């Protein structure tokens, strides 16, 4: 049997500054050491896409199914990778859960594009990969911020700022951060979380601006802790950022419980990551990551051990 | 790439050798200090590397010189405590150099990682289930190491192996392109990552999930040819030396007792480079010896033959080495040694290490062969001296033996021996 064409992409978490980024403050995101893998194999009836972990099986000729967005995203990826001969099947798998803010759709896009590029003997890297991933993400999300697919395609850790122009700057890391990621189902969409905060901000602009300033300052301090590899300090800053997100009203009961369980089990610090209203939390675990994972699982949540900011 | 010839390097003192390094490899004073035993690996770092750490152990590091591989010069750092190894490599490299040097190549960095599946009522059916799920297994494996894919590597294929009696089990191989890493940690994580899926697919129970050191998809090869004339030395012809070397190889080819020693000599050179570059030399050793027994009988990893007035040598063996990861980042001396070697790609390192192993082996069997020839010549000469001194036919062998033993083959000595022998 010939070698298969394969590709993979990590998931991501936001380390600091979610929500505040909408109000002009900086944010920091990092890739995970785990993600999604894609394999392309010859398949006469293709193109076909299978994601066993998400219970997805898509034929491109399927119309009006619930897989419509996925099917269109897959078609966009085939076009962007310049695949002519479409007698193929793409299988995607991995432990990354969809829809909890860990960048699963961008990881899907980047992994599939990398595998298709290899299949096509024209590996996709650098700017062309970012552009293609952006096209796929646009199918999934309308107007993506670009943060997810940029940090996932680039790897490592990025500072992100929205202004007249969106900027991404690589963040120096002393070493990858040992971490635990846990998640619960979302109780509201990203759009709802952002809109809710906008309403609250409009009611009390001066108070919320002070909260966003505080998040901005925590983000800057976090960048220093990442550069020096001071994980205890990083944990304290996670706790601070989480408290401020709670003040913003985007943390729900699952976020609070997961953060409390992680801290109780010995994490150096923990915070929700992404839009909130459920979804994922991330904990810094320089020691005893096993205990933190166990405690979270015992509390009824899904959790895994990983490292943040690996790759380039 | 710097010229690998440094004439008279062995005559220089430490300061002068370091001045050469500074000039040739643009080493900084800090980097030179890292070569000093007192300023290399410190306790704090060593303590993070192993358990119950009590200190560090120094090993001499020398430079293998004169090496040309595929037309390119390499100055090869070798860390080893045994004398003559570095000299032998440099000697053969110098001999081969004017005749095209070594030709070498290495396979892509494909490692095999194994998943052992037991408690299966129907091995064939379970095997088919795994084969059918190939893309799924590869995707799951790669999801555990997304950074490897970003570097152009990752799990690229599977193999399913069935063992019947006495221990029925199924073994899944993931073939993983580790690119420039040795890859042990990554492939172990992949095997762990696919284990739950393997249990789901087969209904069996997974026990071991770990890499194989028999890295036979990651082979390195090297060869050379020299005109036999170039092997001639004081008192022996090139043809004599070539025949002696080929006879030494034939011995190792047929006899495992000799092959073990012969291959040990090969690994003298390869291990020294593995240690100096921070690679897992035990893994390289295990792979080499397992490969030497791949046909069911342990034999030589090299091959030597004479053709068209030339002596030819060739080696092939697994070479699971990397240029990124491992102890490179931790060990300050290894960082400097890698800078001297100046190799970025793992395949290039593997090819150069194969050439070093072949040079080492050629040096060892050349020394054994010429020593034998010399001894033969000396005995011949001693017999003539004994006869000239007036020894009778029945005395000649004994007189010659004593002269060779004393290392003094002269008529006066022969007469003294004869006087002792005669009642």
Per-position DSSP letters for A83-120, written without gaps between them: -----EEEEEEESPPTTSSS-HHHHHHHHHHHHHHHHT
Q: How far is B96 from chain A (nearest CA, A)?
A: 38
Using the beta-carbon criterion (under 8 Å), do B136 and A39 form an inter-chain contact? yes
How far is it, in rounded angstroms, from Cα A79 to Cα A261?
45
- Mark whether A68 and A129 lie in a shared domain: yes
* Yes or no, beta carbons of B150 and A37 under 8 Å apart: no
Contact across the interface for A6 and B142, Cβ inside 8 Å? yes
Q: Are residues A113 and A234 in the same domain?
A: no
- Partner-chain contact A311 B155, CB within 8 Å: no
pLDDT value of position A208: 97
Q: Residue B327: what pLDDT?
A: 67
What pLDDT shows up at residue A67?
Answer: 61
For A73-86, b where at least 16 C-beta lie within 10 A, e where not — what string? bbbbbbebbebeee
d(C-alpha A65, C-alpha A63), whole Å: 6
B198 forms beta bridges with: none
Shared-domain flag, residues A210 and A267: yes
The count of C-alpha atoms lying within 13 angstroms of the C-alpha of B174, restricted to the half-sphere facing its C-beta, is 35
Domains: count for chain A? 2
* Residues A164, A192 within the same domain: no
Residue range(s) defining the domain that contains residue A253: 177-308
**pLDDT at A244 > cutoff 80:** yes
Residue A245 has pLDDT above 70, yes or no: yes
Interval B206-226: pLDDT, tens: 999 999 999 999 999 999 999
The predicted pLDDT at position A61 comes to 66
* Residue B372: predicted pLDDT: 73
CA angle B14, B19, B24 (to 5 degrees): 125
- The architecture (CATH level 2) of B373-421 comes to Orthogonal Bundle (1.10)
Is the pLDDT assigned to residue A280 strictly greater than 80?
A: yes
> What is residue B217's predicted lDDT score, i.e. its pLDDT?
96
Judge: A36–B144 Cβ closer than 8 Å, yes or no. no
From-to residues of CATH 1.10.8 in chain B:
373-421
Q: Does B138 touch chain A (CB under 8 A)?
A: yes
C-alpha distance from B241 to closest chain A C-alpha (Å): 46
Q: In this complex, do B140 and A37 lie within 8 Å of one another by their Cβ atoms? A: yes
Task: With cut-offs at 50, 70 and 90, classify the pLDDT of residue A166.
Answer: confident
Domain boundary among A145, A170, A195: A170
| Span A67-91, pLDDT tens digits | 688 888 999 999 999 998 889 999 9
The structure tokens listed for A34 are: 């785990």
Ranking A149-163, A256-270, B306-320 by mean pLDDT, the lowest is A149-163
Please tell me the predicted confidence (pLDDT) of residue B201: 95
Helix (H, G, I), strand (E, B) or coil at B206: strand
Query: Do A71 and A187 fall into the same domain?
Result: no
For residues A169 and A69, the model is more confident at A169
Among A170, A191, A216, identify where a domain stops.
A170
Average pLDDT of chain A is 92
Q: Do A109 and A35 touch, CB atoms closer than 8 A?
A: no
pLDDT of residue A46: 80
ipTM over 0.90: no
Chain A residue numbers with beta carbons less than 8 Å from the beta carbon of B156 are: 3-4, 6
Average pLDDT, chain B: 92
Residue A144 to residue A137: CA distance in whole angstroms: 6
Query: Which residues of chain A lie closer than 8 angstroms to B325, CB-CB?
Result: none
Count interface pairs A-B at CB distance under 8 A. 107
CATH of the structural domain B9-105+222-367, one choice from 3.40.50.300, 3.90.770.10, 3.40.640.10, 3.10.20.600:
3.90.770.10
All CATH 3.90.770.10 domain ranges in chain B, comma separated: 9-105+222-367
Beta-ladder partners of B112: B175
- Is A187 in the same domain as A126? no
Residues A262 and A205 in one domain: yes
Domain of residue A266, CATH code? 3.30.70.890
- What's the pLDDT score for residue A214? 97
pLDDT band at A312 (very low <50, low <70, confident <90, very high): low
| pLDDT tops 70 at residue A2 | no
CATH 3.30.70.420 residue ranges of chain B are 110-211
Fold of B110-211: Alpha-Beta Plaits (3.30.70)
Total Cβ atoms within 10 A of residue B184: 20
| A114 & A259 share domain | no
A205 lies in the same domain as A107: no
pLDDT for A1 beyond 60: no
The 10 Å Cβ neighbour count of residue B82 is 9
Give the minimum alpha-carbon distance from B88 to chain A in angstroms, rounded to a whole number.
Answer: 41
| Nearest residue to B93 via CA among B81, B105, B75 | B75
Distance from CA of A211 to the nearest CA of B (A): 36
B134 touches chain A (CB under 8 A): yes
User: pLDDT tens-digit profile of A11-37?
Assistant: 999 999 999 999 999 999 999 999 999
- Do A93 and B136 count as a contact with CB atoms less than 8 A apart? yes
Domain boundary among the residues A117, A139, A170 is at A170
Query: For residue B166, is the peptide bond before it cis, meaning its omega torsion is within 30 degrees of 0?
Result: yes
| Segment B166-194, tens digit of pLDDT | 999 999 999 999 999 999 999 999 999 99
The closest alpha carbon to B213, from B182, B191, B186, B190, belongs to B182
B150 to chain A, any CB pair closer than 8 A? The answer is: yes
Residues of chain B with pLDDT under 50: none
What pLDDT score was predicted for residue A62?
57
Q: Are residues A255 and A160 in the same domain?
A: no
Question: For residue B342, what are the contacts with CB-CB under 8 A and spacing of at least 6?
Answer: B1, B2, B25, B74, B75
Higher pLDDT, B372 or A308: A308
pLDDT-wise least confident of A135-139, A161-165, A197-201, B58-62: A161-165
Nearest to A92 among B139, B145, B155 (CB): B139
Q: A277 and A229, same structural domain?
A: yes
Q: Does residue B420 have an active-site annotation?
A: no
Angle between helix axes A253-264 and A289-298 (nearest 10 degrees) is 140
Chain A residues contacting B, CB < 8 Å? Answer: 1, 3-4, 6-10, 31-41, 50, 52, 89, 91-96, 107, 111, 114, 123, 155, 310-312
Predicted pLDDT at B328: 64
* pLDDT higher at A132 or B405: A132
Active site residue: B18, B280, B289, B331, which one?
B280
Shortest distance, CA A59 to any CA of chain B (angstroms): 17
User: Can you give the CATH number for the domain in which A92 is found?
Assistant: 3.30.230.10
Cβ atoms B411, B384 nearer than 8 A: no
φ, ψ at B171 (rounded to 5°):
-125, 120
Is A89–B144 a contact, with Cβ atoms under 8 angstroms apart? no
CB contact, 8 Å: B140 with chain A? Answer: yes
Q: Does residue A86 sit in the same domain as residue A218?
A: no
Could you tell me what percent of chain A has a pLDDT over 70? Answer: 97
Tell me if chain A has a CB within 8 Å of the CB of B297: no
B146, B157, B186, B197, best to mutate vs chain A, most A CBs in 10 Å: B146
């Amino acid at each position: 049997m010939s070698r298969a064409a394969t590709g993979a992409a990590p998931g991501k978490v936001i380390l600091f500054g979610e929500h505040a980024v909408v109000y002009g403050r900086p944010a920091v995101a990092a890739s995970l050491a785990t993600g999604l893998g894609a394999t392309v194999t010859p398949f006469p009836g293709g193109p076909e896409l299978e994601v066993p972990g998400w219970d997805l099986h898509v034929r491109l000729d399927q119309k009006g199914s619930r897989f419509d967005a996925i099917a269109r995203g897959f078609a966009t990826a085939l076009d962007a990778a310049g695949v002519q001969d479409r007698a193929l099947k793409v299988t995607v798998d991995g432990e990354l859960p969809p829809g909890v803010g860990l960048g699963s759709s961008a990881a899907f896009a980047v992994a599939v594009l990398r595998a298709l590029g290899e299949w096509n003997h024209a590996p996709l890297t650098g700017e062309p990969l970012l552009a293609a991933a952006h096209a796929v993400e646009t199918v999934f999300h309308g107007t993506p911020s670009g943060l997810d697919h940029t940090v996932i395609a680039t790897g490592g850790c990025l500072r992100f700022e929205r202004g007249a122009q969106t900027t991404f700057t690589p963040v120096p890391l002393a070493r990858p951060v040992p971490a635990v990621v846990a998640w619960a189902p979302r109780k509201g969409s990203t759009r709802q979380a952002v809109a809710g905060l906008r309403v609250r901000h409009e009611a009390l602009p001066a108070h919320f601006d002070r909260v966003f300033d505080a998040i901005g300052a925590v983000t800057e301090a976090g960048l220093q802790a990442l550069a020096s590899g001071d994980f205890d300090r990083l944990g304290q800053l996670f706790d601070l950022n989480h408290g401020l997100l709670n003040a913003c009203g985007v943390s729900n009961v699952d976020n609070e419980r997961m953060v409390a369980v992680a801290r109780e089990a010995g994490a150096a610090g923990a915070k929700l990551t992404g839009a909130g209203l459920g979804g994922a939390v991330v904990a810094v675990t320089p020691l005893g990551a096993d205990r933190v994972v166990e405690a979270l699982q015992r509390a009824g949540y899904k959790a895994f051990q990983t490292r943040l900011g690996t790759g380039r | 790439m710097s010229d690998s010839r440094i004439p008279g390097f062995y005559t220089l003192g430490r300061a002068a050798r370091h001045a050469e390094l500074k000039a040739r490899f643009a080493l900084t004073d800090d980097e030179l200090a890292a070569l000093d035993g007192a300023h290399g690996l410190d306790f704090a770092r060593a303590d993070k590397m192993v358990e119950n750490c009590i200190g560090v152990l120094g090993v001499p590091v020398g430079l293998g010189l004169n090496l040309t591989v595929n037309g390119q010069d390499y100055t090869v750092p070798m860390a080893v405590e045994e004398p003559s190894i570095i000299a032998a490599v440099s000697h053969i490299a110098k001999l081969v150099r004017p005749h095209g040097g070594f030709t070498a190549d290495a396979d892509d960095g494909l490692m095999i990682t194994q998943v052992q599946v037991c408690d299966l009522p129907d091995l064939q059916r379970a095997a088919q289930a795994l084969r059918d799920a190939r893309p799924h297994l590869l995707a799951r494996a790669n999801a555990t190491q997304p950074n490897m894919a970003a570097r152009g590597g990752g799990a690229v294929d599977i193999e399913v192996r069935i063992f019947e009696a006495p221990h029925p089990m199924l073994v899944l191989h993931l073939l993983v392109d580790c690119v420039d890493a040795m890859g042990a940690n990554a492939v172990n994580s992949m095997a762990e990552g696919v284990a739950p899926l393997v249990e789901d697919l087969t209904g069996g129970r997974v026990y071991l999930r770990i890499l194989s050191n028999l890295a036979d998809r990651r082979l390195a090869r090297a060869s050379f040819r020299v005109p036999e004339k170039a092997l001639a030395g004081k008192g022996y012809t090139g043809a004599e030396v070539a025949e002696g070397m080929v006879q030494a190889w034939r011995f190792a080819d047929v006899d495992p007792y000799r092959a073990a020693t012969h291959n040990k000599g090969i690994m003298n050179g390869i291990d020294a480079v593995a240690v100096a570059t921070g690679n897992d030399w035990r893994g390289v050793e295990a792979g080499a010896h397992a490969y030497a027994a791949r046909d069911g009988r342990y034999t030589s990893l090299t091959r030597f033959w004479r053709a068209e007035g030339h002596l030819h040598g060739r080696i092939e063996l697994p070479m699971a080495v990397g240029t990124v990861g491992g102890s490179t980042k931790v060990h300050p001396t290894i960082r400097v040694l890698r800078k001297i070697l100046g190799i970025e790609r793992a395949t290039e390192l593997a090819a150069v290490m194969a050439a070093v192993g072949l040079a080492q082996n050629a040096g060892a069997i050349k020394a054994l062969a010429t020593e034998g020839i010399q001894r033969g010549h000396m005995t011949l000469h001693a017999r003539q001296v004994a006869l000239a001194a007036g020894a009778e036919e029945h005395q000649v062998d004994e007189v010659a033996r004593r002269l060779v033993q004393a290392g003094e083959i002269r008529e006066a000595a022969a007469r003294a021996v004869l006087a002792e022998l005669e009642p």
